[in-house]
Each structure stands twice: as C-alpha cells, then as structure tokens.
C-alpha cells in the first residue's frame, strides 16, 4: 500500500471504531485504543464485554454506536473479524484497518469483495506515529 493511500485512513477528524478494545492493558486492543487517544484521535471502543474502556464508553457492536465510524480498526480473532466485516457491509462502512494478527483470509476476502478500502500488514500505532513526526 502506498503512503498516499494510507493517508486516506489517517485523519484526526475521523472517528475510529476499535473493535476488540479491552481493559487488559497487556493486549493490543487496549494499547491501540490508548495510543490513538493519547495522540488526539477520536476513538470509540467496541466490545460486548465492557461498558467502558480507558474512560470511554464502550459499545457492544458497531450497529449501536452513536456516530458512524470513518475507520473500523480490527483487533480480534478470526470469527469476530468475519462478524465485524459483515457488520461493516450491513452499515455500508468502507474503511477497515486489519491490525497485524487480525488479517484472517476469509474476513479480508469478504472486505475486498465488498469493495472496501483496507489496510493489511501495518500497525496503526506505527503509522500514526510517522504522521505525528512529519
């Protein structure tokens, strides 16, 4: 993916739905959420297990979010990745960032066949850090 294409995913005016957000500070679902929040990005945690993560209201799924996310960041296992992509299709959301470890074949194929803009093989924490330093 070219840098220009990647920039279509990074904007402080965007709303980022972090699917797989967690209260476990050792996991990337927490690290990504807090990192983006600290950098000034508008993040919304998504996980049916929690009502709040890192001081933010946590939604059980994408469908019940108050606002429509611009980018859906997936930090989940295979089954949940497919469900999240299907939710994106149902909601007509078209930007999905598959964090390393969440880029499962069927989910990526489903997102690609739906015509979504996707990021694979790049960590959003690293990419936003590069934007900060530019």
pLDDT tens, position by position, 91-116: 999 999 999 999 999 999 999 999 99
Helices vs strands, H then E, count in the chain: 5, 7
Helices assigned H by DSSP within the chain: 3-7, 28-38, 78-91, 105-113, 124-133
What range defines the domain where residue 17 resides?
3-129
The mean pLDDT value of the chain amounts to 94
Q: How many domains does the chain have?
A: 1
Phi, psi of 3 (to 5 degrees): -60, -40
Residue 133 predicted with pLDDT over 70: no
Torsion of CA 78, 125, 22, 11, to 10 degrees: -90
Q: In CATH, what number is assigned to the domain containing residue 52?
A: 3.40.50.720
Question: Considering the entire predicted model, what is its pTM?
Answer: 0.95
Q: What local confidence, expressed as pLDDT, does residue 127 receive?
A: 95
How confident is residue 1, by pLDDT bands cut at 50, 70 and 90?
low
Domain assignment present for residue 134? The answer is no
Domain assignment present for residue 40? The answer is yes
How confident is residue 5, by pLDDT bands cut at 50, 70 and 90?
confident
Domain assignment present for residue 25? The answer is yes
Q: What's the chain's length in residues?
A: 134
Instruction: Please give the average per-residue pLDDT across 55-78, as a whole number.
Output: 96
Residue 125 predicted with pLDDT over 80: yes
Domain assignment present for residue 44? The answer is yes
pLDDT in tens, 39-60: 999 999 999 999 999 999 999 9
Give 106's Cβ-side CA count (13 Å radius): 9
Domain assignment present for residue 15? The answer is yes
Domain assignment present for residue 42? The answer is yes
Domain assignment present for residue 19? The answer is yes
Domain assignment present for residue 89? The answer is yes
């Amino acid at each position: 993916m070219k840098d220009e294409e990647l920039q279509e995913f990074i904007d402080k005016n965007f709303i980022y739905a972090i699917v797989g957000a967690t209260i476990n500070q050792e996991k990337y679902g927490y690290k990504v959420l807090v990192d983006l929040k600290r950098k000034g990005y508008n993040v919304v945690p998504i996980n049916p297990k929690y009502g709040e993560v890192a001081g933010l209201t946590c939604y059980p799924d994408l469908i019940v979010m108050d606002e429509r996310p611009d980018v859906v960041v997936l930090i989940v296992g295979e089954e949940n990745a497919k469900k999240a992509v299907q939710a994106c299709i149902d909601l007509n959301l078209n930007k999905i960032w598959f964090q390393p470890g969440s880029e499962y074949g069927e989910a990526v194929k489903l997102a690609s066949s739906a015509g979504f803009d996707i990021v694979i093989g790049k960590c959003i924490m690293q990419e936003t850090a590069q934007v900060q330093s530019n």
